[in-house]
Structure 1
Amino acid sequence: MKKVFKKVLPVTVVGSVLVFTSACTNDTSSDKQNHPIKYEEKSYSIEADKISQISLSDMDRSVDVVKSNDNEIHITYFENDKESYAIDVSGEKNLIMKANTNKELKDYVGLNSDKTHRNVKISIPRGMESGIEIKTSKGDINLSEVNISGSVDATTSNGKIKASNVEIEKSFKVETKNDDINLSNVNVKGSIDATVSNGNLDIAKVAVDDELKLKSKNGGINGTIVGSYDVFSISSHVSKGKNNLPENKSGGDKKLDVSANNGDINLEFVR
């Protein structure tokens, strides 16, 4: 009889724990439905010539960079009683924006993320001399219809990076994990450095004056490059995939460096 009791007791205890956990989860989810999170839209503006660098970090948000209709930088975002932002301009004219949170473990139980409010939009004037650095996660980074005299450095994970109709004077560096990179009609007078892991890297009519560096792991690299084949010196390498580029080609004023691991390389040159 004692042996039977020893076998049954752990099952009874575990069953009680499971019931208790389930009850907590249901109560928390129900509470979120009865008392939905309230967001407040906020904005920040500053003259572009007062800023030399824009830095966004620890965002855990999607970020959109678009064209401003005036000579100011405008930032639109959403806050609630658990999540807010700190915006500051340093003595070196660096505009720094960081996300702050005071969430507890219970705030994540039954959470259904509201993508509409988990977004930051930056509007910048044409030819802005400031550089931009964006570091986020679990969100996309989109750049559309912008012209920037500085450099752009954008990094995310579990989110896409898209750039369309973009002109950059200096350099453009992008990196993501577990999603794709899409560059369309991107013109950079300096260099482009794009890296993706567990995703594809697709480009369409991408132009550089210096170097184009494309790297993928567990994904393919496809698309079109503006310029003739002859103006590029080429270095390419593929592992476990097909490659339509030569491994090495000398000559040319521009550099093309492409590598893919467990994916194909298929790039064409267009005018």
Structure 2
Amino acid sequence: MKKTITILVSFMSLILGSVLLAGCTNNSENFTERDYHASNKAVTSVKLDVRDRQIKVVPSVDQQIHIAYSESDQEYYKIAVSAQHTLTMTSASNKKWTDYIGLKTAAKSRKIVLQVPNKLLTTLKITTNNSNLKLAPLTVKRNISLSTQNGNLTFDKLNAGKAIKLQAKNGNITGSVLGSYDDYAITTTIKKGNSNLPANKKGGVKKLIVANNNGNIDVELVKK
């Protein structure tokens, strides 16, 4: 009986060791820096839906859309522009479950920098997890929607013609929205955290919808 148990333990140790080795080996994959440029496409909306990536949104230096990112043979992105002029960027992977065991992808390869022209986009929607989402001052014509999980959401002087939607889980929502208190109908949902916004404030021509679970909400309304 003891001999059988010993053989079984040795066998399981061998399997576990092989799995860990495979995970560590695959995490040493080579990432290549890339820059997507949408100057020749009529883009009115941008939608990013990625995983495990830190995202930074900054003003475009030439009024065109640029995306700086890194990808490998196993972790890459699908980027396309639809007939409706929406640029989408989504995570793609051909990894096996064993490839996720071991060290994470290097921090420098888990960053995305999005440059967008101020005041020209109709909508902007960004979703990420396990990292932070940060935006410089930005104005869009209709809607802004931002979501992060296991990371912080920070921004400065966000402005949208119709609605701003902010969502986080296991992180803080901190920043400023352009406009006065009377400009917005505000809806706030908070769990396991503190908020400086009212739960429900009616009136206003624009909507501000903020939700957080296990984190704080600190959003200021500021004038230009």
Q: TM range, normalised to the smaller chain?
A: 0.7 to 0.9
Residue 103 of structure 2 corresponds to which residue in structure 1?
111
Of 21, 43, 46, which aligns to 1:27? 21
Distance 1:97 1:162 in 2: 21
Q: Larger radius of gyration, structure 1 or 2?
A: 1
Contact preservation (8 Å) 1:140, 1:160: yes
Distance 2:101 2:136 in 1: 35
Whose RCO is larger (CA < 8 A, sep 6+)?
Answer: 2
Does the C-alpha gap of structure 1 residues 110 and 130 become closer, same or farther in structure 2, counting only changes over 3 Å?
same
Of 9, 16, 27, which aligns to 2:10? 16
Question: What's the C-alpha RMSD, in Å, of the aligned pairs?
Answer: 3.6
* 1:154 equivalenced with 2:146 (yes/no): yes
Residue 231 of structure 1 corresponds to which residue in structure 2?
none
Does the C-alpha gap of structure 1 residues 145 and 81 become closer, same or farther in structure 2, counting only changes over 3 Å?
same
* 1:210 equivalenced with 2:195 (yes/no): no
Of 195, 218, 221, which aligns to 2:195? 221
Could you list the per-position Cα deviations for residues 215-258 of structure 1 after superposition, in whole angstroms to 9, with x for gaps in the alignment? 21111113xx7xxxxxxxx666xxxxxxxxxxxx99x7689999
Under a length normalisation based on structure 2, what TM-score does the superposition of the two structures give?
0.80
SS of 1:12's equivalent in the other structure is: helix
SS of 1:116's equivalent in the other structure is: helix
What is the percent sequence identity of the aligned residues?
27
Q: Which amino acid aligns with 1:100?
A: A
Give the paired residue count: 222
SS of 1:95's equivalent in the other structure is: strand
Gaps of 5+ in 1: 189-205, 226-233, 237-248
Distance 1:103 1:269 in 2: 44
Contact preservation (8 Å) 1:187, 1:208: no
Contact preservation (8 Å) 1:48, 1:128: no
* 1:124 equivalenced with 2:98 (yes/no): no
Residue 186 of structure 1 corresponds to which residue in structure 2?
177
SS of 1:117's equivalent in the other structure is: helix
Gaps of 5+ in 2: none
Of 138, 153, 164, which aligns to 1:172? 164
